[in-house]
A and B are shown apart, each in its own frame.
Chain A
Amino acid sequence: GAVVSQHPSWVICKSGTSVKIECRSLDFQATTMFWYRQFPKQSLMLMATSNEGSKATYEQGVEKDKFLINHASLTLSTLTVTSAHPEDSSFYICSAETGDTQYFGPGTRLTVL
């Protein structure tokens, strides 16, 4: 089946620093990737839709200048959390689309001190 990797799997950073998370589709090309955020015991909330070669589409309430998304190739999308604060601590999961099926990465647990 389709495999999506995410790196790093967990990261701890100081408040005010930036963190980059990579999402890769390993055995297929994904024109569209999605970034989700999941708080403990809650559902996945879509943050943005990332299309290769174009600007990401952000959901309402998600700051595009804070959560920078780059989808430079058909197999890689990156999410950069800029000037991270403790409230940004969460589980960030990407997914890559093939057909109309989405395959999820293993997630990145971000803790901002």
Chain B
Amino acid sequence: GENVEQHPSTLSVQEGDSAVIKCTYSDSASNYFPWYKQELGKRPQLIIDIRSNVGEKKDQRIAVTLNKTAKHFSLHITETQPEDSAVYFCAAINGAGSYQLTFGKGTKLSVIP
């Protein structure tokens, strides 16, 4: 089955700086990679996603890059703000199967004002 590794587990940045979270996956058949933001006690919220036919996607301060050859994808947050503080999860889906999400272990991002 799919295995998703996520690094780092914790990340502290100064407000205004950039944050980068990296994930690797094992199943070369995986073709959809969403990123979720989860605040304490709340549901995961989809913030951005990328499909395997695209190398990069950007939405305002958030971008995701995908390297299919190396089987890794990254989340980039620029001009970080305190409200970006949360736990971020990457995930992968093998679309040829049942659309089951395999999550990374999460990254706790703290943005210091």
Please report A residues at the B interface, Cβ cutoff 8 Å.
32, 34, 42-46, 49, 57, 91, 93, 95, 97, 100-107, 109
Q: Given contacts A101-B49, A104-B43, A106-B43, list 8 more A-B pairs with CB under 8 A.
A: A43-B103, A43-B104, A46-B101, A91-B41, A101-B46, A104-B45, A105-B43, A106-B42
Inter-chain contact total with CB atoms closer than 8 Å:
50
Residue B44 at the chain A interface, CB threshold 8 Å: yes
What is the CA–CA distance of A44 and B105 in the complex, to the nearest angstrom?
8
- Contact call B44/A32, Cβ cutoff below 8 A: no
A107 to B43, CA, bound (A): 6
- Alpha-carbon separation in the docked complex, A32 to B44 (Å): 18
**Contact among B95, B99, B105, B106 for A32, CB-based, below 8 A:** B99
User: A interface, by DSSP: helix, strand, loop or mixed?
Assistant: strand
Pairs across A and B, CB under 8 Å, 24 listed: A32-B99, A34-B100, A42-B105, A42-B106, A43-B103, A43-B106, A44-B44, A44-B101, A57-B98, A93-B43, A95-B101, A97-B99, A100-B32, A100-B93, A100-B99, A101-B46, A101-B49, A102-B46, A102-B99, A104-B43, A105-B43, A106-B42, A106-B43, A107-B41
- Determine whether the beta carbon of A43 is less than 8 Å from that of B105: yes
Give the contacting residue for B98; candidates A32, A42, A45, A95; CB below 8 A. Answer: A32
Once A43-B89, A100-B95 are accepted as A-B contacts, the answer to whether A34 and B101 lie under 8 Å apart by CB is yes
Report the nearest B residue to A6, measured CB to CB.
B43
Contact indicator per residue, chain B 86-102, by CB within 8 Å of chain A (1) or not (0): 00010001010011111
User: Of all chain A residues, which has the CB nearest B32?
Assistant: A100
With A100-B93, A101-B34 as known contacts, state yes or no: A49 contacts B98, CB within 8 Å: yes
**CB of A99, distance to nearest CB on chain B (Å):** 9
